[in-house]
Amino acid sequence: MEKRAIGIFDSGVGGLTVFKSIREYFPYEDIIYFGDTARVPYGPKSKHTVINYSIQNTRFLLQQNIKLLIIACNTSSAVAIPYLQKMTDIPVIGVIIPGAEEALSLTKTGRVGIIGTEGTINSNAYKNELLRLNQKLEIFAQPCPLFVSLVEEGWLDTQVTHLIIQEYLSVFLEEKVDTLILGCTHYPVLKAAIDTYFSGKVNLVDSSQAIIKHIKPFIDNSSLQIGKDLFYVSDNEVKFVKIADMILDKKVTNLKKVTLGESWFVE
């Protein structure tokens, strides 16, 4: 029987945190990853643009005959999922619902923090989902755009890293949250530094882990072939490989560059 791959897309390299966790849990699956490195970052862009890019990325992956579409990018997940679901009959899974559910299961005080890009925070997607799950939650949100650059520079434990963490996250200490959603693909890479800032007293929700529960129902474990990885980027292969090494702890091979040109564009 033909083996169809799981498709994952992200605005760039950060979604490899989601790729890594899916690869670990499902070693027999083939995975196709698309990082839109030509148009990253999505975080500061308008909702319209992010939806448009997400539609193009989805169209590209659907052409690869995938069986499941994972939206690793929080910013895309926050605004584009309903549009992407209309494009296909295969399951489309984003990171917002898994992250919100995980936060709800962890919080004891009902005081939950969310960090993400400006796009994710302004969309209120996590907040709305959390309140849909439990109206009594008290929610505090903060965009942390500089975290993306820290990770891409590989500055995971420098003086500057700790200062920026303090600047962005002190509000969560003041508000006494007991759970914080790391609502951006890059943030799990800073988990150790964030955990140190909170002295290990705040639950950190990593959607790259939380999403696994939502993928499991669609995976049958009958294949005994070790899964293949295929990576596509829209630009900057060298930078992608460099950061990928850090996130995955291994060399990325099987990398191709694609151009999502005019023919992909949908207004």
Tell me whether residue 92 or residue 178 sits nearer to ligand DGL (CB atom). Answer: 92
Q: For residues 114 and 170, what is the distance between their CA atoms, to the nearest angstrom? A: 13
For the bound state, the minimum distance from the C-beta of residue 113 to ligand DGL, rounded and expressed in Å, comes to 16
For the bound state, the minimum distance from the C-beta of residue 74 to ligand DGL, rounded and expressed in Å, comes to 4
* Site of interaction with ligand DGL (CB under 6 A): 10-12, 14-15, 40-43, 73-75, 117, 120, 148, 184-186
For the bound state, the minimum distance from the C-beta of residue 13 to ligand DGL, rounded and expressed in Å, comes to 9
Catalytic one of 73, 144, 151, 204: 73
Tell me whether residue 58 or residue 117 sits nearer to ligand DGL (CB atom). Answer: 117
Tell me whether residue 82 or residue 217 sits nearer to ligand DGL (CB atom). Answer: 82
Catalytic one of 55, 184, 210, 215: 184
Q: What is the phi/psi pair of residue 253, to 5°?
A: -120, -175
Tell me whether residue 107 or residue 123 sits nearer to ligand DGL (CB atom). Answer: 123
Tell me, yes or no, if 144 is annotated catalytic: no
Write out the catalytic residue numbers: 73, 184
